[in-house]
Amino acid sequence: MKNNKLVLLILLLAVLVAAYFYFDQSSTTLIHVKGGKFDFAIKDTNSIDKVFIADAQGENITLVKGKNGWLVNGKYNARPDNIRLLMKTFSRIAVKSPVPKASFETVVKKIATGATKVEIYQGAEKPSKIYYLGGSTMDQTGTYMLLETEGVKSTVPYIMHIPGFRGFLTSRFFTNNDEWRDPVIFKYAAKDINKLEVTYFEDEKQSFFIERNDTEIELLDGSRKKISGFPKERLEEYLSRYEKIYYEMIDIESTKEKIDSIIASTPFFKIKLEDVYGSTKEIVAYHMPNFRTTLNPVDGTLFEYDVDRMYGYVNKELFVYIQFATFDEITIKKDDFLIP
């Protein structure tokens, strides 16, 4: 009896070990078909300097790593959080299982006709690896993918996943330029700000300028008259608030006619910043109508404008939504510097 139990235990352990190696991407037993490639992961993601993503609809995006970070299509800074997620995906991606025989042909056809293509470069002119993504599994926990290396495609696709993450991977490889773009408006250390102009169109007496002259920093009113009699440290503290100012999202819903109409209206405020290198950035803000019909809790009347969001026109090229919660930090009035 004891011998029988021992034999069963050994058989069970053998099955478990076999299953482990069958599903573990490091095991050569996964190459159950000649020419199968499953080495998707890239351990050294710091060596990745370019990623090209193209979808089945003909849209594509190119991400290139430069000295100061990643660029989108060679023009805009990329969102750091999106880049971090992409690199994490490259480093942790693993085989979940081979594609079942019952769905093999369907998956292969889908990859052949409607895959998202991801080219990964590591310092060479040709991609080191190319992913072909063909959609997710029925339970949404795996993604059908096929690998190409050295110009040769795998003969079979695999079901891929991120260990510990429940979901599919296709959504991480998108081609929308606006979604990849870093939503930063101002990102400056106080010492790097040379001039600042804050204009309030509804209360022009509260507009002000801040300027650096050699080693001195000055506050001027809207008519550029120098203001004194307050602690100069307040100016440095105020400038330090420009380290992280972001927009919420790009407005992709409004028509060109509507945007042009808003831009032609009287603004709420304008902030223009010049850094010590002579580069300038600005945002012009406009009130947003109270579409949500938010009521004033004091008297029950409707607020005239949205109390959470505004429209923003960044560098005369990008129309966005911005939040009061973000801009309240930097839209202080001239007199606020003079409070004892």
Q: Can you say whether the dihedral through the CA atoms of 185, 188, 192, 193 is positive or negative?
A: positive
Residues present in the chain in total: 340
CB-CB contact of 71 with 193 (8 Å): no
Which has more confidence, 33 or 76? 76
pLDDT digits (tens, 9 = 90+) for 55-99: 999 999 999 999 989 999 999 999 999 999 999 999 999 999 999
Q: Which of 334, 339, 333 is nearest to 225 (CA)?
A: 334
Residue-level pLDDT at 20: 40
pLDDT tens track for 146-160: 999 999 999 999 999
d(C-alpha 215, C-alpha 148), whole Å: 58
Question: pLDDT tens digit string along 178-196?
Answer: 999 999 999 999 999 999 9
State whether residue 156 is helix, strand or coil.
coil
Which pLDDT score, from 0 to 100, does residue 252 have?
87
